[in-house]
Structure formats: structure tokens, C-alpha cells
A = this chain, B = another copy of it.
């Protein structure tokens, strides 16, 4: 049995599934609406954000906030509203209490007075942990479908 098939047979924690969806709905809106410090606080203090389009991962909330601040400033200057859509969520609870959450991600951009366009299609692999009852991202890895897999 392949690892992918194994996951399919595992029991799904359906309450956790909805909680992760709600977390993403909340988290990505923080980024899209430029609440960059609140966004960074959805990662653990030592959280890591890796993307194959970036030379190095961002490590820690300060770095994650700083990267988001730069990106959102540039979009605001151009009058572009960006929206991150995560979907097709596949959740697996690990035995150590951490949570593996895999999604598809689309990045759409709408300029003032213009039409929306889909800029990127990606996969997003998260390791989530719970701290004081709250879900947080400990590690995120984003892969763009237009780039070769490393």
C-alpha cells in the first residue's frame, strides 16, 4: 500500500478538518487585507515559510511579517487586490499531536477597475501545531506548479 493510499484509509478527525478550514479562511484574509503582524502571529514564534520561488525560507515572525509587509505595500501601490484561495484540503493528524495539512492554492489578483486573473497555482504543505488552544503554522512549504519540482 502506497503512503498516499494509507492516508486515505486513516480515520478523519472531522472537527479538526473544519477547524483547519476556518483557520485558513481567517489566516489568508489577514494577509490579503494587509494585517501583516496578525498574519505573522498565525505562525509559531520560530515558524518557517519556505517557497520554491524564494532563495531562502523566512524564519520567525519578524521575518515573515517583513516579507508580507513588502509584498502588500507593492500591491497597494499598484492598486491590486490579491486573494489567496486554499482548497482541496487533506488533513492528517500525526501521533505526536502535530497536524499535516495539504492544500491546493490559487493566487488571484484584481486591479482597480479591471478583471481578476489567476497568477499562480501552487500546492501548500503545512505542519500545524496547537499552542494555548490555537492552531499555528510551524512550517509551510509552497510549491509553484509552473516551476520544476526540486
Contacts and interface: CB of A to CB of B under 8 A. Distances in A.
Most B CB contacts (10 A, CB to CB) among A2, A11, A116 go to A116
A59 interface: no
Given A35-B4, A117-B118, A145-B110, A26 B90 contact: yes
Interface in A26-42: 26-30, 35, 38, 41-42
Interface in A13-54: 14-19, 21-30, 35, 38, 41-42
Interface residues of A, number: 61
Contacts of A104: 29, 83, 85
A112 interface: yes
Interface of A: 2, 4-5, 7-9, 11-12, 14-19, 21-30, 35, 38, 41-42, 81, 83-91, 102-104, 106, 108, 110-121, 133-134, 145-148
